Amino acid sequence: MTFSDRIKGGIFAFDKGDDRFELNETESGEPPVFGKRRPVGAADTRADIPERIPRSIEKLQKELERRFSSDVDHDLIMRRFLIAGRTPALVVFMNGMADDAKVNEFLLRPLIRLEGTDTDPKALLNGAVEIAESATERDLSLALDSVLGGMTAVFIEGQRECILSETRGFEKRAVEKAENEQVVRGPKEGFTESLRTNITLIRRILCVPDLVVRQRASGGRNNVKLAVIWRRGVTDERLLAEVERRLDGVDLAAVTSSGMLEQMTEDCPLSPIPQMLSTERPDRAALHVMRGRVCIILDGCPQALILPVTFFTLMDSPEDIYMRRPLGTVLRVVRFTGAVVSVLLPGYFLALALYHQGVLSTEVLSTVIASRRMVFEPIGVEMLILLLIFQMIREAGQRVPGSIGQAIGIIGGLVMGQAAVTANLASSVVLIIVAASGLGNFCVPDYPTQIAASYLRLAIVIAAWLGGLLGIVAAALLAVAHAAGLKSFGVPFLAPFAPRTFRTKPLVLRGPLSGQAADDELNTAYDRRIRRREQ
């Protein structure tokens, strides 16, 4: 050991405990005096008490007719037939969800034409059923859930087990371009509403044996499934346990979007800051899974959730790594500058205009005074109104489809701005500042983060109006303190900057493609192995 190593080891090296970050919700002991500990949801108990399948087909059919209101709703198809011409059986599937042809050709026909006497479901599965993805099931509730999802169940007289076959054949959207995360360079395809298709899209990119896709109930009473995707041996097992624990806690009437799941599982649901990354790009999701993150895809939702995330993950664009390093670096510098300008510029200008005029040069002062001469409202109100109008234009542009939306943006931005200045409703300087801030906001690649940034901008404008630079300091400190205390599934939101981690790649600038395989703040098993080896 050299002298410098000794110095480093003696003075600077810390005694290391567990190098993983603490999860917020695993704090133990008595509850606090103020506030409550976040409630931990009960696990799905339905699976714990299996519902037995009646041996009598007659009884079962009546039960199903009752449960599915067959007197008025005819979507549940129940067809009685004889296996091998002897044993009564009942095939059950949902009209429209299952593919009729598949049911007829690969399930009904082989069973009816069966030669033999063994009607044990397992034997039939081996000898008759011609659909590869088939299994037996003893729990009636689970079997019916599967039927609702598009599978077909075959109940056999005298048997407690049924055969479940994959016969899904409902209409679905084809894989199309990702609409909200477009890139000039790189893959174009986006997720669809089909869970199976989405998993396939990821599997196609990640051809690794350690990729694990676990399908489970979403927690909604609408029985929609979701898939948790991770890499065994890379993703932190403790993170996985936490993901499962939080998903267990989801208990909603219906889960129809990943946004609902996000709110139910994130660390601080009331925070405007997103704590998961929502993406519609399989390549982006795959890259994050490869780095040790967990991906959750909900059936029926074309956006995947990536977790845990940090501020810097949210500021990443897929294009950063598709472009060459110098270009990617410039892109990122512009993006971060845009974000800072977006959040701080209107508030800073307002603070100077209302409290600290001496900081502005005489030229700027004269220009602003001249442009505001006939504007009737105070400069703070003017700023807020323009920000509001900008937000409205943006919302309108987003809700209106395609080219009309773009036209609204142009008309709103150019025509209304010019008209407002001409009509003395706004001064040109403030208009320029709001426009620059709006452009900066669009530089933020993640939509929820954009929204969060625009809220923060609004808060800073109000704070600047009330207290000048002091107000900005107060608002910014509150915001940064909130962000500093925020965790996404136990990973500090501002990592690896605060807290510092062993990350070797630059944060704002784009680093080399080679190097650290996983983000250090994720405490991946891979990283821990490497670190142990180094120690």
By CB under 8 A, name the binding residues for another protein.
Answer: 11-12, 14-17, 21-22, 27-35, 270, 352-363, 365-370, 372-373, 378-380, 463, 465-474, 477-478, 480-482, 484-485, 492, 494, 497-500
113 HSE (CA, 13 A, CB side): 9
Residue closer to another protein by CB (options 331, 470) is 470
CB neighbour list of residue 403: distance below 8 Å, 6 or more residues apart = none
Q: Which residues contact 113 (CB under 8 A, 6 or more apart)?
A: 84
**Residue 400 β-bridge partners:** none
Q: How far is the CB of 453 from another protein (least distance, A)?
A: 17
* Residue closer to another protein (CB basis): 159 or 449: 449
Which two three-digit tokens encode residue 348? 């800073």
Residue 81 vs 355, nearer CB to another protein = 355
- If the CB atoms of residues 220 and 468 are measured against another protein, the closer one turns out to be 468
Number of C-alpha atoms within 13 angstroms, CB side, residue 421?
A: 14
CA distance 46 to 140: 11
438 close to 394: Cβ distance less than 8 angstroms = yes
Q: What CA–CA distance (Å, rounded) separates 294 from 304?
A: 10
Number of alpha carbons in the 13 Å side-chain half-sphere of residue 330: 4
Measured from the CB of residue 501, what is the shortest distance to another protein in angstroms? 8
Q: How far is the CB of 504 from another protein (least distance, A)?
A: 15
- Which of 306, 495 has the CB closer to another protein? 495
State the CB neighbour count (10 A cutoff) for residue 221: 13
Which residue, 385 or 470, is less far from another protein as judged by CB?
470
Task: Provide, rounded to whole angstroms, the least separation between the CB of residue 357 and another protein.
Answer: 5
Q: How far is the CB of 70 from another protein (least distance, A)?
A: 48
Please name which of 302, 306, 390 lies closest in space to residue 342, comparing C-alpha atoms: 390
Residue 3 or residue 14: which is nearer to another protein going by CB?
14
- Comparing CB distances to another protein, the nearer of 167 and 313 is 313
d(CA 445, CA 384) in angstroms, rounded, equals 24
Q: Which is nearer to another protein, 373 or 533 (CB)?
A: 373
Distance of CA 360 to the CA centre of its chain: 43
For the chain, the residue count is: 535
> Smallest distance from the beta carbon of 522 to another protein, in angstroms?
16
Q: How far is the CB of 467 from another protein (least distance, A)?
A: 5
Provide the minimum distance between the beta carbon of 469 and another protein in the complex, in angstroms, as a whole number: 5
> Long-range contacts: 11-20, Cβ < 8 Å, 24+?
19/523, 19/528, 19/531, 20/236, 20/238, 20/490, 20/523
Query: Least distance in Å: CB of 457 to another protein?
Result: 16
Cβ atoms of residues 168 and 158 within 8 Å = no
Provide the angle, in degrees to the nearest 10, between the axes of the packed helices 428-442 and 362-371: 100
Beta bridge partners of 168: 98
